Amino acid sequence: MSAFARAGRRAAIARELAPVVAVVALARARRRVALALALAWLARAVVARATARRGLARALRGRAVWITGASQGLGEATARACARLGARVVVSGRRAERCAEVAEECARLGAASAKCVVFDVCGTRSELSEACERAFEAAGGTVDVFVNAAGGSQACSALAGDDEDVDKALFQLNAIGAISLTKEVAKRMVAAARRRKAGSIAPKIVGVCSVASKVPAPGQSVYAAAKSAYAAFLNSLRSEIANTGVKVVCVYPGPIATGMNGQERVIFRKNMADSTPSPSASKTAISRTAARPPSTKGRMNVDYVAARIVRSALADVDELVLAPQPIMALTYCVRFFPTLAYAALDVIGPKRARRADAGENMYDLLEKTREILESIGDVDSKDSKGKLA
């Protein structure tokens, strides 16, 4: 029963069962009594959640946290968030100079120590094993929290992307490399967990997947497939090692405002030459990315997402789904009302795919909402922009 009673699950289970409790109460008692029971159950969920998060600000102090993909974007923001909590931070990425800069910043922010281990997640299994050894050594022999934030996005529809190298690169980075590295980490964490002292925090494996694993993502079909593969691996791994004390957290973030301040986002397009950044990236592709920073419309603040990831990992939750509206609403629709959700996505999908192929922002949520409303006849196409402005 301990699998159901642990702190990170009590609140989630209470929330998931709240509708059932309400329905049963309605069937068995008067409306006021039913409402009181439902509210009491929800209150219990809120209290359990608050209790689980109590003291989290102190939980990472002096603990070893290894973050991959930390040279930019979400990985860098996560490293900063851990540094502010006094963790011993190990940052990893492909660029040595950039990793060193992030490590220096972490030290300034209050990290107990900040070191960097440079390697490529797309390397061979033996290279990943060697990088894992170096990271554990840099962390003092053991890693308390491993966050795999390395990854790359996509902006290309399935039919427009004919370059097989792009598909292979997407899977190598987001699935195969991620799975291989996580296996190496899990082996060492499980072995170390047997020697841990009572009262120490449970070792955590945090895998950053994507909300594209929960909701179909037109314009990112191969990326969604790769992230879904990694998510399926993590959720299976959690059950396989549940009796070892090592926890696995699967994170499903939606669009994040990365690539600011002149940094380039890893985005795979129709071919490798137009993908950024890439050793064979064309000068036009690089200059276009640098000259026109990505739009922040419809994207979440990267520091907010990083803070939520750290907090959720320490609270022992199994998963975190985090996305702006209406994407978050669509995740619930896909789960509970799949036919309705797929109908809405059929309206959004073709135009979103065209935007991806044209290199435009796919996350203009007001435009998406306007299209859905127009499709069901709730607003007139001529004045919908004014109503939603």
Q: For 143-192, how does the pLDDT look when each residue is reduced to its tens digit (9 = 90+)? A: 999 999 999 999 999 999 889 999 999 999 999 999 999 999 999 999 98
- Of 114, 270, 137, the C-alpha closest to 192 is 137
The answer on 68 and 47 residing in a single domain is no
Q: For 307-362, how does the pLDDT look when each residue is reduced to its tens digit (9 = 90+)? A: 999 998 888 899 999 998 888 988 999 999 999 889 989 988 999 999 988 888 87
The answer on 339 and 314 residing in a single domain is no
H-type alpha helices, the chain: 2-5, 7-28, 31-53, 56-59, 73-84, 96-109, 125-138, 164-171, 177-193, 221-240, 283-291, 302-314, 327-336, 338-358, 365-375, 384-388
Question: Which pLDDT score, from 0 to 100, does residue 364 have?
Answer: 65
Name the percent of the chain lying above pLDDT 90.
53
Range of the domain at 14: 2-53
**pTM beyond 0.75:** yes
Question: Which pLDDT score, from 0 to 100, does residue 145 have?
Answer: 96
Q: Which residue matches tokens 């929960």? A: 214
State the Cα–Cα distance between residues 199 and 260, nearest whole angstrom: 41
Q: Domain with 312 in it: what CATH number? A: 3.40.50.720
* Mean per-residue pLDDT over the chain, rounded: 82
Phi, psi of 62 (to 5 degrees): 80, 0
The answer on 283 and 140 residing in a single domain is yes
- Of 313, 327, 258, 311, the C-alpha closest to 289 is 258
Residue count (the chain): 389
Sign of CA dihedral 120, 124, 128, 130: negative
Q: Which residue matches tokens 């301040």? A: 261
The answer on 274 and 380 residing in a single domain is no
The answer on 82 and 227 residing in a single domain is yes
Q: Which residue matches tokens 């796919």? A: 362
Among 300, 322, 344, residue at a domain's last position = 322
Give every strand in the sheet of 145-148, ordered side by side. 113-118, 88-93, 64-68, 145-148, 204-208, 247-253, 319-322
- Of 84, 12, 92, 79, the C-alpha closest to 49 is 12
Among 322, 348, 372, residue at a domain's last position = 322
Question: Which pLDDT score, from 0 to 100, does residue 221 have?
Answer: 95
Cβ partners under 8 Å of residue 18, min gap 6: 38, 41, 42, 45
Q: Which residue has the higher pLDDT, 204 or 367?
A: 204
Question: Which pLDDT score, from 0 to 100, does residue 265 have?
Answer: 73
Could you tell me whether strands 88-93 and 267-268 are parallel, antiparallel, or unpaired per DSSP bridges? unpaired
The answer on 315 and 333 residing in a single domain is no
- The answer to whether residues 357 and 160 touch, using CB atoms and an 8 Å cutoff, is yes
Bridge partners of residue 256, in order along the sequence: 300
Q: Which residue has the higher pLDDT, 273 or 30?
A: 273
Among 322, 352, 379, residue at a domain's last position = 322
- The answer to whether residues 309 and 320 touch, using CB atoms and an 8 Å cutoff, is yes
Reply yes or no: is the peptide bond before residue 294 cis, omega within 30 of 0: no
| Average pLDDT value for residue range 79-86 | 96
**Per-residue confidence band for 195, with pLDDT thresholds at 50, 70 and 90:** confident
Q: For 288-310, how does the pLDDT look when each residue is reduced to its tens digit (9 = 90+)? A: 444 445 556 678 999 999 999 99
The answer on 272 and 149 residing in a single domain is yes
- The answer to whether residues 68 and 121 touch, using CB atoms and an 8 Å cutoff, is yes
Domains contained in the chain, number = 3
The answer on 60 and 21 residing in a single domain is no
pLDDT above 60 (res 18)? yes
Q: What is the maximal distance between C-alpha atoms in the chain?
A: 70
- Of 221, 251, 232, 230, the C-alpha closest to 154 is 221
The answer on 169 and 311 residing in a single domain is yes
| Average pLDDT value for residue range 204-228 | 95
Question: Which pLDDT score, from 0 to 100, does residue 194 have?
Answer: 77
The answer on 76 and 131 residing in a single domain is yes
- The answer to whether residues 254 and 300 touch, using CB atoms and an 8 Å cutoff, is yes
State the Cα–Cα distance between residues 382 and 387, nearest whole angstrom: 10
The answer on 72 and 203 residing in a single domain is yes
The answer on 268 and 313 residing in a single domain is yes
Question: Which pLDDT score, from 0 to 100, does residue 279 have?
Answer: 40
